[in-house]
């Protein structure tokens, strides 16, 4: 095997002057820099699989909402979760090894982690629609071949579909089986669960889905075929921005990130006033809703609004099913969640809120501490996870009334509808559509559940973002010294003010968030805090 690894690695040499880091979403950068990284991620996948006794590891090649010329790669653990933390460091180490040291570093990891090289390694992989994908897949396959790994190529998939398939592969034939191990199995599971959850109800009007010209487009078209088979179209889906042939159109003036940051609909959207729209990102693990209100203009229904909608609906169902006492329901957010949403969950819904650092893995982990853990980042990454106790209760609780039976039935359907492995734009969309159908709500009624505090996000370029160190789920700075006290002083002068600064995990910048009771105060607070950070970040 050693000779094979050496020979293969010579075809995938590392750019000398580059330092790579496995960040919150794996490795991500300009695609032309990724060849050696993807090759080495293949080596890590083989090691990880062997370490876990030959369980299957997922490898996804995507750069999500980044521009078309970027790409990225990330690893998926056996139950469909994000890669375990300590392995991010091993991946980084291997990605940065000099070509001549690569085998040595590989071997030392094998030894340090007590990995049996004889164990069969297994990997499944897929990619999004980027033009650079096929060449990067070849680099991955070279590593899998060199390490004698068994693999399956799932070609084009959304990121959550790969998470789903990883879990299905590892649970196949066990009582924990998560579904049929095929893309078709994914559509069947979702569409069947959707029909059960909808109970013959219909949503008000159509939903326009912007697929960011990414892999979500063809996959949603496929899903719609299954939905049509089952229900006589309980939901009317209009698909836009589904061109995956024009490479340069990916995430260009469309997609979840565009809509969230620009606070406007993609120019290609033809939806009229009060018509529901949603946007996926380039790999369909993120979704946000929006609509145009004739009085107030563009209205965003972001991750916070999806989380509160889901928590309120599931909370009601748990009460109707008489499970509210025995199941712990909670909401997990990050510091970016609008203060009004946190207040709404705690005060109006009466549910606990936990705050974690940014990044899906932190939220997901915290959500699993609840029986029903609803987690969403404001930017639209999120899902709802059910504990084994909750699933058991949904199936074994004896109903004492038809209403209770109906609630249990819906809860069981939701548990199948909602992707348990990771936030999934397609599954989340069907969840939102289900809830709106049950409540017979237009987007306007959903929007009115609470009013967001005006807020502002500022990106501050600094020389060294690592000088900014935070605590308390990124809500407070511990370094540079004294800066937090200055921020606190500014915040105290503003009504309902809140502000924090943190180093970005994906680019060389510090992000400042501020909110307050008025637009003017929020903007002013954000620019003053950004000014302080800029001063601290200069010259260091």
CB-wise, 162 or 314, nearer to Mg ion?
Answer: 162
Question: With CB cut-offs between 5 and 8 Å by kind, which of Mg ion, ligand 16G, none does residue 281 bind?
Answer: Mg ion
64 touches Mg ion (CB under 5 A) = yes
User: Per-residue contact track with ligand 16G, 498 to 517, x per CB under 6 A?
Assistant: ------xxxx---x------
Q: Rounded to the nearest whole angstrom, what is the least distance from the CB of residue 151 to ligand 16G in the complex?
A: 23
CB-wise, 12 or 260, nearer to ligand 16G?
Answer: 260
- Sole window of 3-11, 212-220, 353-361, 447-455 interacting with ligand 16G (rule: CB under 6 A): 353-361
Q: How many degrees, rounded to 5, is the angle at CA 232 between CA 229 and CA 235? A: 105
Helix, strand or coil, per DSSP, at residue 240: strand
Q: Rounded to the nearest whole angstrom, what is the least distance from the CB of residue 433 to Mg ion in the complex?
A: 20
Contact 132, 248 (CB under 8 A): no
CB-wise, 359 or 443, nearer to ligand 16G?
Answer: 359
Consult the annotation and say whether 377 binds a ligand.
yes
Question: With CB cut-offs between 5 and 8 Å by kind, which of ligand 16G, Mg ion, none does residue 117 bind?
Answer: none
Q: How many degrees, rounded to 5, is the angle at CA 430 between CA 171 and CA 219? A: 70
Question: With CB cut-offs between 5 and 8 Å by kind, which of ligand 16G, Mg ion, none does residue 24 bind?
Answer: ligand 16G
Consult the annotation and say whether 283 binds a ligand.
yes
Contact 40, 59 (CB under 8 A): no
Say which residues have a Cβ less than 8 Å from residue 51's Cβ, sequence separation at least 6: 113, 115
Q: Rounded to the nearest whole angstrom, what is the least distance from the CB of residue 81 to ligand 16G in the complex?
A: 11
Q: Is 49 a catalytic residue?
A: no
Greatest CA separation found in the chain?
A: 70
Backbone angles phi, psi at 61, to 5 degrees: -105, 105
Consult the annotation and say whether 511 binds a ligand.
yes
Distances 391 to 176, 386, 428 between C-alpha atoms, Å: 11, 7, 19
Distances 127 to 37, 60, 140, 215, 328 between C-alpha atoms, Å: 15, 6, 11, 9, 37
CB-wise, 73 or 345, nearer to Mg ion?
Answer: 73
CB-wise, 64 or 169, nearer to ligand 16G?
Answer: 64
Among 81, 275, 281, 424, binds Mg ion (CB under 5 A): 281
Residue spans of beta strands (DSSP E) within 423-507: 455-460, 469-471, 476-479, 498-503
21 touches ligand 16G (CB under 6 A) = no
Q: Rounded to the nearest whole angstrom, what is the least distance from the CB of residue 13 to ligand 16G in the complex?
A: 28
Q: Rounded to the nearest whole angstrom, what is the least distance from the CB of residue 142 to ligand 16G in the complex?
A: 26
Consult the annotation and say whether 416 binds a ligand.
no
Consult the annotation and say whether 281 binds a ligand.
yes
Among 434, 318, 334, 325, smallest CA distance to 381 is for 334
359 touches ligand 16G (CB under 6 A) = yes
User: Per-residue contact track with ligand 16G, 377 to 416, x per CB under 6 A?
Assistant: x-x-x-----------------------------------
Q: Rounded to the nearest whole angstrom, what is the least distance from the CB of residue 512 to ligand 16G in the complex?
A: 11
Distance separating alpha carbons of residues 160 and 141, to the nearest angstrom? 21
Is the CA virtual torsion 43, 45, 49, 51 positive or negative? Answer: positive
Distance separating alpha carbons of residues 124 and 80, to the nearest angstrom? 12
Among 430, 102, 291, smallest CA distance to 110 is for 102
CB-wise, 425 or 483, nearer to Mg ion?
Answer: 425
CB-wise, 82 or 372, nearer to ligand 16G?
Answer: 82
Contact 515, 475 (CB under 8 A): no
Q: How many residues bind Mg ion (CB under 5 A)?
A: 5
96 touches ligand 16G (CB under 6 A) = no
Q: Rounded to the nearest whole angstrom, what is the least distance from the CB of residue 372 to ligand 16G in the complex?
A: 21
CB-wise, 62 or 149, nearer to Mg ion?
Answer: 62
Consult the annotation and say whether 427 binds a ligand.
no
Catalytic one of 36, 64, 191, 499:
64
152 touches ligand 16G (CB under 6 A) = no
Helices 102-112, 35-51: inter-axial angle, 10-degree rounding: 20
Among 105, 195, 360, 494, binds ligand 16G (CB under 6 A): 360
In sequence order, what DSSP letters do the residues of 31-44 get, joined into one string? Answer: GGG-HHHHHHHHHH
Burial of residue 517 (CB within 10 Å: 0-12, 13-18, 19+) is middle
29 touches ligand 16G (CB under 6 A) = no
Distance separating alpha carbons of residues 46 and 147, to the nearest angstrom? 7
Contact 197, 417 (CB under 8 A): yes
In sequence order, what DSSP letters do the residues of 102-169 get, joined into one string? Answer: HHHHHHHHHHHTT--TTSPPEEEEEE-S-TTHHHHHHHHHHHHHHTT-EEEEEEE--HHHHHHHHHHH
Q: How many residues bind ligand 16G (CB under 6 A)?
A: 13
User: Per-residue contact track with Mg ion, 282 to 321, x per CB under 5 A?
Assistant: -x-xx-----------------------------------
25 touches ligand 16G (CB under 6 A) = yes
The helix (H) or strand (E) run that includes residue 522 is helix 519-537
24 touches ligand 16G (CB under 6 A) = yes
428 touches Mg ion (CB under 5 A) = no
Helix, strand or coil, per DSSP, at residue 306: helix
**Residues in contact with Mg ion by the rule CB under 5 A:** 64, 281, 283, 285-286
Known binding-site residues for Mg(2+) equal: 64, 281, 283, 285
Q: Any idea which residues carry the catalytic annotation?
A: 64
Known binding-site residues equal: 64, 281, 283, 285, 377-379, 502-506, 511
**Residues in contact with ligand 16G by the rule CB under 6 A:** 24-25, 358-360, 377, 379, 381, 504-507, 511
Known binding-site residues for substrate equal: 377-379, 502-506, 511
């Amino acid at each position: 095997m050693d000779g094979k690894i050496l020979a293969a690695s010579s075809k995938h040499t590392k750019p000398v002057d580059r330092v790579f880091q496995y960040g919150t979403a794996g490795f991500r950068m300009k695609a032309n820099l990724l060849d050696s990284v993807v090759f080495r991620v293949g080596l890590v996948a083989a090691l990880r699989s062997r370490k876990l006794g030959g369980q299957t590891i997922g490898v996804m090649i995507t750069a999500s909402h980044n521009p078309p010329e970027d790409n990225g790669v990330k690893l998926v653990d056996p139950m469909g979760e994000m890669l375990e933390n300590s392995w991010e460091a091993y991946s980084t180490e291997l990605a940065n090894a000099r070509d001549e040291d690569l085998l040595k570093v590989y071997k030392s990891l094998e030894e340090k982690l007590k990995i049996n090289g004889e164990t069969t390694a297994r990997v499944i992989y897929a990619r999004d629609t980027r033009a650079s994908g096929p060449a990067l897949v070849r680099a991955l396959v070279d590593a899998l071949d060199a390490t004698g790994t068994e693999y399956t190529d799932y070609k084009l998939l959304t990121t959550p579909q790969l998470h789903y398939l990883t879990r299905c592969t590892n649970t196949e034939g066990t009582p924990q089986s998560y579904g049929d191990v095929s893309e078709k199995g994914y559509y069947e599971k979702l569409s069947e669960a959707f029909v059960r959850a909808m109970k013959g109800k219909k949503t008000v009007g159509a939903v326009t889905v912007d697929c960011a010209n990414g892999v979500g487009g063809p996959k949603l078209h496929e899903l719609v075929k299954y939905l049509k088979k089952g229900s006589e179209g309980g939901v009317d889906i209009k698909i836009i921005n589904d061109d995956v042939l024009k490479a340069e159109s990916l995430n260009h003036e469309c997609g979840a990130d565009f809509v969230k940051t620009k606070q406007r609909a993609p120019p290609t959207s033809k939806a009229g006033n009060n018509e529901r729209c949603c946007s996926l990102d380039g790999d369909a693990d993120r979704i946000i809703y929006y609509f145009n209100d004739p009085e107030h203009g563009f209205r965003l229904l972001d991750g916070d609004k999806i989380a509160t909608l889901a928590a309120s609906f599931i909370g009601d169902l748990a009460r109707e099913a008489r499970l509210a006492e025995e199941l712990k329901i909670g909401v997990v957010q990050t510091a970016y969640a609008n203060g009004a949403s946190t207040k709404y969950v705690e005060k109006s819904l009466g549910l606990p809120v936990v705050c974690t650092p940014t990044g899906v893995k932190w939220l997901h982990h915290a959500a699993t501490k609840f029986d029903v853990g609803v987690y969403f980042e404001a930017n639209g990454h999120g899902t709802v996870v059910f504990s084994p106790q909750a699933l058991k209760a949904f199936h074994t609780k004896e109903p004492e009334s038809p209403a209770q039976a109906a609630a249990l039935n819906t809860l069981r359907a939701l548990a199948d509808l909602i992707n348990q492995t990771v936030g999934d734009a397609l599954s989340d969309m069907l969840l939102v559509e289900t809830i709106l159908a049950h409540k017979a709500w237009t987007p306007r009624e959903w929007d009115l559940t609470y009013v967001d505090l005006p807020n502002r996000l500022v990106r501050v370029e600094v020389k060294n973002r690592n000088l900014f160190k935070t605590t308390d789920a990124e809500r407070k700075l511990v370094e540079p010294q004294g800066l937090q006290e200055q921020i606190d002083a500014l915040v105290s002068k503003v009504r309902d003010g809140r502000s924090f600064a943190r180093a970005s995990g994906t680019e060389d910048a510090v992000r400042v968030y501020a909110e307050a009771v008025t637009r003017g105060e929020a903007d002013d607070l954000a620019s003053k805090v950004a000014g302080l950070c800029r001063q601290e970040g200069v010259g260091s």
